């Protein structure tokens, strides 16, 4: 009996007692190590942001980031206002670009629908930009959490572009860096194929610790 219990404890400790990767949640987020369907993009300009970033595709709305969606040297433009809960003030700039939007204020699908109406080809949503230092310790800033983006409960939006959630701290760093450099946008390639690249080997942002 004691031997059986010891074997069971060892089996659980090795991770066999957990559910599948899609069952691992933390405050409506997934551990970065448990995500198997990530999409990658790279920033090619400015140099200060030249890293490879991971996004988690929306689960219940929009189209897919796949072979039919491949953009080279496309602009990644922060929306104004940042939450994009209404028609963006910089709609003209968003036409033909990828919209960078902040979480909060309305549903993920509403943000995406507003960006699509402005002519955006895709949407990347990141966590809020928080200012209070105590809020910087919020779980939303953990480098290993992604949010599962679902449509609102009563959603009626017909969305025909892809959308994904960007690792929390990355959105803030991209916005802050563009602001400091007085640049209206970054230039990205999306998606980037890292199928045969080990997770530890791709060019991750220097501020992300995973």
Write the DSSP assignment of 61-98 as a string of letters.
SSB--STT--EEEEEEEE-SSTT-SSS-TTHHHHTTSE
First to last CA, the chain: 39
Q: Is the pLDDT of residue 11 over 70?
A: no
Residue 44: C-alpha distances to residues 107, 125, 126 (Å)? 30, 19, 19
Residue 90: C-alpha distances to residues 37, 46, 63, 178 (Å)? 31, 21, 23, 16
Q: Tell me the per-residue pLDDT of 69-106, one tens digit each, with 9 for 90 and over.
A: 889 999 999 999 999 999 999 999 999 999 999 998 99
**197 and 173 in contact (C-beta within 8 Å)?**
no
Mean pLDDT of 117-132: 83
Q: How far apart are CA 121 and CA 129, in angstroms?
A: 24
Q: Is the pLDDT of residue 144 over 80?
A: no
Identify the architecture of domain 23-190 in CATH. Answer: 3-Layer(bba) Sandwich (3.50)
Q: Tell me the per-residue pLDDT of 164-192, one tens digit each, with 9 for 90 and over.
A: 999 778 898 899 999 999 999 999 999 98
Q: How far apart are CA 79 and CA 101, in angstroms?
A: 6
**Mean pLDDT of the chain, nearest integer:** 78
How many CA atoms are closer than 13 Å to the CA of 175, on its beta-carbon side? Answer: 23
Q: Is the pLDDT of residue 15 over 70?
A: no
* pLDDT reported for residue 143: 52
Confidence of residue 151 (pLDDT cuts 50, 70, 90): confident
* pLDDT reported for residue 187: 98
Query: Tokens 């949010």 label which residue?
Result: 147
């Amino acid at each position: 009996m004691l031997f059986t219990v010891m074997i069971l404890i060892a089996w659980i400790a090795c991770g066999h007692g957990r559910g599948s990767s899609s069952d691992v949640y933390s405050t409506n987020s997934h551990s970065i190590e448990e995500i198997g369907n990530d999409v990658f993009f790279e920033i090619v300009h400015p140099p200060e942001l030249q890293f490879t970033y991971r996004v988690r595709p929306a689960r219940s709305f929009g189209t897919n980031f796949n072979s039919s969606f491949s953009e080279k040297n496309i602009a990644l433009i922060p929306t104004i206002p940042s939450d994009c809960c209404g028609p963006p003030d910089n709609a003209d700039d968003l036409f033909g670009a990828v919209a960078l939007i902040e979480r909060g204020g309305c549903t993920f699908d509403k943000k995406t629908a507003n960006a699509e109406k402005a002519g955006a080809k895709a949407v990347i949503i990141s966590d809020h930009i928080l200012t209070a230092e105590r809020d910087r310790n919020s779980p939303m800033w953990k480098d290993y959490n992604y949010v599962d983006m679902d449509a609102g409960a009563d959603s009626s939006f017909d969305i025909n572009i892809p959308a994904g959630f960007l690792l929390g701290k990355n959105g803030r760093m991209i916005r802050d860096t563009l602001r400091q450099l007085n640049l209206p946008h970054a230039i990205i390639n999306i998606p980037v194929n890292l199928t045969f690249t080990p997770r530890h080997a791709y060019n991750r942002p220097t501020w992300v610790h995973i």
